[in-house]
Structure 1
Amino acid sequence: MTDPRTYQPSKDALKDRVILITGASDGIGKAVAIAAASHGAQVVLHGRSVRKLEAVYDEIVNAGAPRPSILPLDFEKAGPEEYEKLVAALEQEFGRLDGLLHNASMLGERAPIEHHDVAKWMRTMHVNVNAPFILTRTCLPLLKKSADPVILFTSSGVVSSPRPFWGSYLVSKWASDGLMSMLAQELEKQPAMRVNSINPGAVKTNMRLQAYPAEDRSKLREAHTIVAAYLYLLGPDSRGVHGQTINAQ
């Protein structure tokens, strides 16, 4: 298998692929969206802030890449109808979906279980686990219309190295990896479908700053330097890679 960390995509590696990226307004999601578009993808930008999404949109267009689409949705507040409308808009505009990257997540509260705020726990679990489940479920019919569909979840180093005081974030990432593994097995008889997780590692993002406020950020990787693994898993060159958790660093 190609090493995803050193993968060098061709200029048109993602040409004409329709890829929905959640949490695309900042950090890793933004970096992947810009990189995917630069390699020919028709990127669908999801986030809560229209203003931030428009800024990413402008950056992609100004670089001469295919014009992206914007789909704002607040996972904390959205109900079934909002998801159905999102998928209906995708179907009307593109007729299919080639890639779905579950990148949006929240850190929640880092606290001992005995002091953890119940409402914050539930919000974190909803955004990090329930929302990817609902979005995957509603997007599966569109993904099945693709000749080479990909679903990519986001894992974390806390899954392989559990530690105290990580609360709902740690549990949600375990659940996310479990959802990926279960879905991958359910779709094994559909050989065109690939389902994997990616662990971005330590990256200079706002969420990382929340988790490690005293950390020396000069030693962290910038988001745009780890996109190779994402492009590999979202593109046709990763055919045959299924049900795995891949490290981006």
Structure 2
Amino acid sequence: MNDYNAPQDLLHDKVILITGAGDGIGAQAARTYAAHGATCILLGRTVSKLEAVYDDIIALGGNEPAIVPLDLKGATPSHYQQMAQTIIDQFGRLDGVLHNASILGHLSAFKDIDAKEWQDVMQVNLNAMVYMTQALIPALEKAPNASVIFTSSSVGRKGRAFWGTYAVSKFATEGVMQTLADEYQNKSLRFNCINPGATRTHMRAQAFPAENPETLKQPSDIMPTYLYLMGNDSLATNGQSLDCQPK
């Protein structure tokens, strides 16, 4: 999957929602999906960043994206229900979701985790993802086949000292994916996780401020796995957690 060579029309006529689409991996995924024929729904907190990605897609000759400004920290299930109904009304269905948006929180000893920060990280990384997925399933079920990609991490598979809040949110993400994949086994809707690995993003710089970013892969370098899981070549892949940069 890491060297997957996607056909140019892989995502032709597909409608795909990307969270955290304003920068980093989310922005690159949106540009990449659009370049392969998708109509992208760009969801993020900062309108100016979403508009910049919108402009990039239009400049590359892609389908006109939709923009959904939404702060996951404050959004409620009713916001996601309204968004899902708007998607059905406008597009008739949803072919894919990339749950990319996450926040890191501070790295600290477990005993020192701040309660408010714990709640904020769980709200964005877990609760918002769960409520949004629940709301979007009817739209996803209207597609001939649909793919939901969750973003995981190596610390969501094996806990790491001082990464407690973020790690627990990613362990939970893996659990959500596995539960849904089992519920929808042999159906038209599939669920998988991606671990992007060490990638040149703002979150990586937060976590490893002394690291030389020149040693890291760019978001564009890891897109083959994102394309594979979103396109029809992965129809039989369900309940898997894939590494973009396997060791």
Answer yes or no: same fold by TM over 0.5. yes
- Deviation track 1:28-78 (CA, whole Å, cap 9, x = no partner) reads 000010000000001110000111100000000011011111111111001
For the residues of structure 1 that align with 2:140 and 2:78, how far apart are their CA atoms?
19
Residue 68 (str. 1) matches residue 65 (str. 2): yes
Cross-structure match for 2:222: 226
Of 198, 202, 221, the match for 1:202: 198
For the residues of structure 2 that align with 1:32 and 1:189, how far apart are their CA atoms?
27
Check whether the contact 2:6–2:228 (CA below 8 A) recurs between aligned residues: yes
**SS at 2:67 equivalent:** strand
For the residues of structure 2 that align with 1:237 and 1:106, how far apart are their CA atoms?
31
Percent identity, aligned pairs only, is: 45
Cross-structure match for 2:23: 26
How much does 1:189 deviate? 4.4
- Deviation track 1:198-238 (CA, whole Å, cap 9, x = no partner) reads 00000000000000001111100001111110011001111
Check whether the contact 2:24–2:219 (CA below 8 A) recurs between aligned residues: yes
Number of positions where the alignment pairs a residue of Structure 1 with one of Structure 2: 245
Check whether the contact 1:121–1:167 (CA below 8 A) recurs between aligned residues: no
For the residues of structure 1 that align with 2:169 and 2:20, how far apart are their CA atoms?
17
Check whether the contact 2:77–2:132 (CA below 8 A) recurs between aligned residues: no
Q: Note the 1:170-209 alignment, pairs <5 A.
A: 170-190=167-187, 192-209=188-205
Cross-structure match for 2:49: 52
80-89 or 216-225: which moved more? 80-89
- Letter paired with 1:198: I
For the residues of structure 2 that align with 1:176 and 1:161, how far apart are their CA atoms?
13
For the residues of structure 1 that align with 2:103 and 2:231, how far apart are their CA atoms?
26
**SS at 2:2 equivalent:** helix
Check whether the contact 1:109–1:121 (CA below 8 A) recurs between aligned residues: no
- Letter paired with 1:225: D
For the residues of structure 2 that align with 1:157 and 1:91, how far apart are their CA atoms?
35
- Deviation track 1:93-120 (CA, whole Å, cap 9, x = no partner) reads 1010000110000001211111111000
Residue 9 (str. 1) matches residue 6 (str. 2): yes
Residue 217 (str. 1) matches residue 229 (str. 2): no
For the residues of structure 1 that align with 2:145 and 2:13, how far apart are their CA atoms?
12
How big is the alpha-carbon RMSD for the aligned residues of Structure 1 and Structure 2?
Answer: 0.8
* Residues 237, 189 of structure 1: alpha-carbon distance in 2 compared, 3 angstrom cutoff: closer
Cross-structure match for 1:116: 113
For the residues of structure 2 that align with 1:189 and 1:62, how far apart are their CA atoms?
39
- Letter paired with 1:150: S
Cross-structure match for 1:160: 157
For the residues of structure 2 that align with 1:76 and 1:154, how far apart are their CA atoms?
17
- Letter paired with 1:235: G
For the residues of structure 1 that align with 2:158 and 2:145, how far apart are their CA atoms?
33
- Letter paired with 2:236: G
For the residues of structure 2 that align with 1:96 and 1:187, how far apart are their CA atoms?
18
Q: Structure 2 unaligned runs (5+)?
A: none
Of 137, 141, 150, the match for 1:140: 137
For the residues of structure 2 that align with 1:157 and 1:81, how far apart are their CA atoms?
32
- Letter paired with 2:223: V
Q: Structure 1 unaligned runs (5+)?
A: none
Check whether the contact 2:77–2:135 (CA below 8 A) recurs between aligned residues: no
Check whether the contact 1:13–1:236 (CA below 8 A) recurs between aligned residues: yes
